Structure 1
Amino acid sequence: MDESELDCLESKDVAAMGKVLKTFVEKNNPVFTFPSLNENSLRRRLWSALFKILVDSNSAPNYALCLESIRILSREKTDLNDLMCDEWLNILLQHAGLMSQEEALQRINQPSVEYNVMLEAQKCLCNLIFNSPTAQKACSTNHSVEGVVMRLRTYRDPGLPHDIKFFDMKMLFLITALCADVRPRLKEELHGLTYLMETLDLIIKEAVGVGLHDSTLSRESSEELIHDHHHQISIGSQHPTLSDSQVDLACEVLKVLFNLTVGKSKQDVGGPMEMRRVGVDEEEEAHFLRLTTVLHDLFLCDAVSPAKRDELRNHTVNLLVNIPSNCYEELMTTIPKDARDIPKDVEYEGLNMQAIAVLYDFLSDRLKEAQAPRMQQEKLCPVLTVLVEAVRVHRSIRKFLRLRILPPLTDVLHRPEEGETVRNHLCRLLTTPASDVHKLVSDFLFIICKESVSRMVKYFGYGNAAGLLAHRGLMLGGKGTSGNYSSDSEDSDTEEYKKYRDNINPVTGCFEPPRPNPTEGMSDEQKEFEAMQLVNMMDKLTREGIVLPARIGEDGRPEPLEHVLQLQEELPRQQVRQPQYNACDEDDDLSD
């Protein structure tokens, strides 16, 4: 923009202003940097001229173009901190319709809203908050958050455009992500958790087709609706299908809720009293329970496209990570006596496990996508974290998932890491270099094996499970000490397993045909010679530091040896212990 165009913007000619602004927007819509504005203070002059237009009521026809120009300019960070001031941000907030409660009451009879102007102002605010620490600090103390919450209460109004709601949530997400000190005020003083949960509830009801008559909602009515809708959604014969725009809005709300709940302790596995003991008060506990109920219903929602459905489930799982694990009980619902449309494969012990089945399917999809170690951390850690907490705390979830992941063993001809089942994928991750994923997978599988070493070895092979067993001091067998599981029951080995049981190698976890004896036909002198050759080679490798021999100590963990001949001392003890590793362990019961 040159001097003459700036002079035109600084004039009072509304028509000429409009032409200059329209030309600027059309020319620079794809542009993200403006080096030409660095000379002769052109940048400050341009910004000042644009905000003077926004406060001039005679220039109202140019408001939308003016805001589009600010949106384009706000993409560049150059001098943005120096330019931003409270006055300009308040002007944008007014055009975005975000005001304090007092201002809203004063303007209750204002003329019809220009939604295109409001939307452009929201976009400007989002860019400025993202790119300018000065704007972030200002918006954390002014009435930006209060204004969004005020409008949240009008989301039932069918005349309010979806894009306005979407950028409200995007702006709230940016503020809560970049200004952590805003979160307590939004949660406690402004009751943000309640209104955000109600927004998710409204999205689901809109997809189901439930009529929404009131244009505003109170905190009390919001809490009542969240309590009531769970039963309505979960027993429906058809899962609601969200449009792409509804999924986008729901995801933004979930991201804000994530920011408001992040950092809570996951040690609250002992029930409501334990939750309060670790810093979760009674009101917050009620919020978590209601929030889990809403997330249950989101799990049951479908989307127009698989990509959008995956995005919705991803954000739902991310938020579930922040929720105390004993609240996961809300993911399971009691099946009413008159229910007829619940699929049989999601019924378990009188509970509707549809949400848990969705979690399982989500894990299955993510396992197929995350083949490379660099992708595993991002794609697998959230869902694995949720599943580890769920199976550790809730017996029904553990048993339901175990039946899906570790059904009675029939395929013993292939190694457990070979194949495309969920068990195969998880087995491969037991040896992944991604340490966080390895630990989560190990914990998850060990828990659904009821922390039984013999069962873990049976399903995954001693070689794959060795890292977990060494870490827990269980390489000599036994059970973990952290779980409270029911006693084992009768043998439930399949016919296929019994057929090959005696020839299953516990190290590889699969059948191996008998091999010929390599020393057959040798004299005793030849056998002794070959044995000494082996000892010498192992000794050489040890002395050169290539390998370090070890044995299993009394604590169940590996410990180094000074010489390979010390392995002979271990033979009697290992022979006594060996049956504990036998892959044909009898405790593979289905009663858990």
Structure 2
Amino acid sequence: MLSEDSLRTIQSGSEADLTKVLEAFNSENAQTFSFPNVTTDFKQNCVQTITGRLKGALSSKCQILCLQALRIYSREKERMEVLTSDDTLELLVKLSGLQYYAEEEGEGVTIQDGDQDVMVESQKCLCNLIFNSIVAQRYCSEKGCIVGLVQRLKTYGDPDLNYEIKFFDMRMLFLLTALPTCIQTRPKIRYELHGFTYLMEVLDLTLRAAEEKRTGLGDQDVDLCSEILKILFNLTVAVEKKSADEEEEAHFMRLVSVLRDLLMCTTISKDKQEELHSHTVNLLINIPVDFYEELLTPLNESDVRGVENKDVEYDGKNMEAIIVLIEFLSKRLDRPSKSLKESLTPILHCLCEACRHNRSIRKFCRTKILPPLREEVKRLPEEGDSLRNRLCKQLTSPVTEVKDLVAHFMFVLCKENVNRMVKYTGYGNCAGLLAQFGLLKLDQGNPKGDYSSDSEDTDTEEYSELKDQINPVTGRWEESKPDPMEGMSEEQKEHEAMKLVDAMDKLHRQGLIQPSRIGPDGRPEPVSHILELAESGGATAAKETDSD
């Protein structure tokens, strides 16, 4: 740790002595994240001494060592006030090359140049301070740092600009658009500073550079694109999905076109490709649904690149991007995840909205996910390795958000047709969705999506032969079974029926089931006694409760 003697050396010692002291401190505390044994006054004295020396004439090496020491101190979430004075923040913004100067005549900014390694170390300090301190967030939002960040986007085509400067610029911009204190910066960046346009241009520039090299996006390229996609997500998170002016429409059309290119591009690392697809899917969720059409291109204007399945044409359009999204869903279904919700809900939501509002996408997805049933009807819908089977497994997932989104997605693929949904999933698997929508009467409901009137429902010969023996509850073909009441007298049948009623009534009184009947709104409504089910014509349904 620094001592009083060390502080005197930092304050007035030679560069050689300064280097020796700071190298020892930085090495000793490389993995230190708090200083419980250091008083607030002493920590403040350390910070002031280091920043005081930084203001003087130092070599780049000494500047970097000073900034590394400040970065170590900035990791501690407590006592941030010792690092967030206007004087310290102004110095860090200046050393980051982000200081904003308004020109007296006309509009413009001058961004200070400097040693790029020094700039990177200063950016790292600012990232920590912005993350941990509301004071730093407000300062960087209000004192020109935001302007400097957006203006520097214009220089990203310069091959001499260090990648790390770009990355930490974007990390700072992400924090300044994500943290609750900085919400007001979103419209400023998007509209006043035109950051939306500049960020898209950087994505496009990165993609074009990779195409020219013909090597695919490198890991650094993916990391930079991912940060930009996260910023664009923040800038579009509150966008009105239904209306947009002409300028916004042009922006969204351009953005979705760029997102399509990101879905189609290759990356050197396969893991990085999935990361890129994940951020792309997250951003697509924020896009107004009218612009999903931009994911498709006329086949004759597009080059089919690297897709194993060359059958990408549907309705005269190129479905490569949709194939990528379906494959992304398939990978997420295959891979066990600690957080099923975070893993599956974005792609399910994205595909659900795309299919609900774009006829071509829905029809194509249906051919891939719900193809005509054949011999597989002899198995339960959730048994097997097809996409349909794996989605049906999630219909009984304990994660409510996943279960509901899968049900909604498959319902949309069925054009919100109840009978078709039961056909592909079994009544037992989709009963929760039908109850939620008030569709337990098996009527057609009121579809909310943009669906055509044609049925698209052609049964295969195999399905038609087995259709009459399919159990609608399980969704599986079952061999005919003998009637258990065959040969019984009417009195015996009535006796067996009353035994069943008594058993159900006992379970009801024990709180294990809640007998219900289907009400006028198509939703289950509880009954007070089991005999009420007989009075309503035998339309019975038992709703289970948690008995564990």
TM-score norm. by structure 2 comes to 0.91
Is residue 97 from structure 1 mapped to residue 104 from structure 2 by the alignment? no
In the alignment, which residue of structure 2 is the partner of 1:131? 132
The Cα of 1:208 is off from its aligned counterpart by 0.2
The answer for the alignment partner of 1:226 in structure 2 is none
Is 1:242 equivalent to 2:217 in the alignment? yes
> When the two structures are aligned, how many residues end up with a matched partner?
530
Query: Structure 1 stretch 525-534 or stretch 140-149: which is displaced more?
Result: 525-534
How far does residue 337 in structure 1 lie from its aligned partner after superposition? Answer: 6.4
Aligned twin of 1:69: 69
The answer on whether the counterparts of 1:332 and 1:353 sit within 8 Å (CA) in structure 2 is: yes
**Is 1:11 aligned with 2:12?**
yes
Q: Output the CA distance in 1 between the equivalents of 2:510 and 2:311.
A: 58
Change over 3 Å in CA distance of 1:89–1:475 after alignment to 2: same
What is the CA distance between 1:540 and its match in structure 2? 2.8
Measure how far apart 1:129 and its partner are.
0.8
Shift of 1:564: 3.0
Can you list the C-alpha shifts for 1:425-450, whole angstroms capped at 9, x where unaligned?
22122222322222222221111101
Under a length normalisation based on structure 1, what TM-score does the superposition of the two structures give? 0.84
When structure 1 is superposed on structure 2, of 72-81 and 320-329 the one drifting more is 72-81
**Residues 157-196 of structure 1: matches in 2 within 5 Å?**
157-178=158-179, 179-196=182-199
1:112-166 alpha-carbon deviations (Å, 9 max, x no partner):
8422111111111111111111111111111111111121111111111111111
Query: Does structure 1 retain, via aligned residues, the 8 Å contact 2:153–2:202?
Result: yes
Contact 1:54/1:63, CA 8 A, preserved across alignment = yes
Q: Which runs of 5 or more residues in structure 2 are unaligned?
A: 541-548
Aligned partner (choices 287, 293, 305) of residue 323 of structure 1: 287
Partner of residue 568, structure 1 = 534
Structure with the larger RCO, 1 or 2 (CA within 8 Å, 6+ apart) = 1
- The change in CA–CA distance for 1:494 and 1:58 in structure 2 (over 3 A counts) is closer
The 1:35–1:545 alpha-carbon spacing in structure 2 relative to 1, beyond 3 Å, is closer
Structure 1, 506-515 or 417-426: larger mean CA deviation: 417-426
Find the aligned partners of 1:522 and 1:478 in 2 and give their Cα distance. Answer: 36
Structure 1 residues 82 and 47 mapped into 2: Cα distance closer, same or farther (>3 Å)?
closer
Equivalent position amino acid for 1:426 in 2: L
User: Are the aligned partners of 1:416 and 1:427 in contact in 2 as well (CA < 8 Å)?
Assistant: yes
Partner of 1:557: 523
Query: Which letter maps to 1:186?
Result: I
Go from structure 1 to structure 2 and tell me whether the alpha carbon gap of 1:105 and 1:257 turns closer, same or farther (over 3 Å shift). closer
The answer for the alignment partner of 1:395 in structure 2 is 359
- Listed one character per residue, the Cα deviations across residues 36-64 of structure 1 (whole Å, up to 9, x for unaligned) are 3217x321111011111111014554111
Q: Which residue of 2 aligns with 1:451?
A: 416
Secondary structure, aligned partner of 2:98: coil
Q: Name the structure 2 match of 1:361.
A: 327
What's 1:120 paired with?
A: 121
Equivalent residue for 2:545? none
- Asked if structure 2 preserves the Cα contact closer than 8 Å seen for 1:51 and 1:88, the reply is yes
Following superposition, the deviation at residue 547 of structure 1 comes to 2.5
Deviation per CA, 1:161-185: give whole Å up to 9, x if none. 1111111101111111121111111
Alpha-carbon distance in 2 for matches of 1:355, 1:123: 36
Q: CA deviation at 1:508?
A: 0.2
CA distance 1:13–1:350, shift in 2 (3 Å): same
Which residue of 2 is the match for residue 519 of structure 1?
A: 485
Query: What is the DSSP-based 3-state SS (H/G/I as helix, E as strand, rest coil) of the residue aligned with 2:517?
Result: strand
Q: 2:502 aligns with which of 502, 519, 536?
A: 536
How far off its partner does 1:7 sit? Answer: 1.1
Aligned mates of 1:557, 1:106 — CA distance in 2: 62
Distance in 1 (alpha carbons) for counterparts of 2:290 and 2:247: 16
Does structure 1 residue 508 correspond to structure 2 residue 464?
A: no
Match for residue 452 of structure 2 among 460, 482, 486: 486
Choose which of 414, 420, 426 in structure 1 pairs with 2:379. Answer: 414
**2:278 equivalent among 304, 308, 314:** 314
Deviation at 1:3, TM superposition (A): 1.2
The equivalent residue for 1:230 is none
Contact 1:10 1:49 in 2 (8 A): yes
- Unaligned segments of structure 1, at least 5 residues: 211-237, 269-274, 575-592
Check whether the contact 2:377–2:477 (CA below 8 A) recurs between aligned residues: yes
Matched, 1:382 2:339: no
Please show how residues 138-153 of structure 1 align to structure 2 within 5 Å. 138-153=139-154
- 1:542 to 1:572, Cα distance in 2 relative to 1, 3 A: closer
Among all aligned residue pairs of Structure 1 and Structure 2, give the percentage whose two residues are the same amino acid.
Answer: 50
In structure 2, how many angstroms separate the alpha carbons of the residues matched to 1:11 and 1:18?
12
Q: 2:514 aligned with 1:548, yes or no?
A: yes
- 2:33 aligned residue: 32
Provide Cα deviations, 1:466-517, integer angstroms capped at 9, x if missing partner: 1111122221222131244323458621222123222110110001112233
Conserved? CA contact 1:331–1:355, under 8 Å: yes
Partner of 2:203: 200
2:533–2:539 contact (8 Å) kept in structure 1? no
Q: 1:433 corresponds to which residue?
A: 398
Whole-angstrom distance in 2 between the partners of 1:184 and 1:106: 20
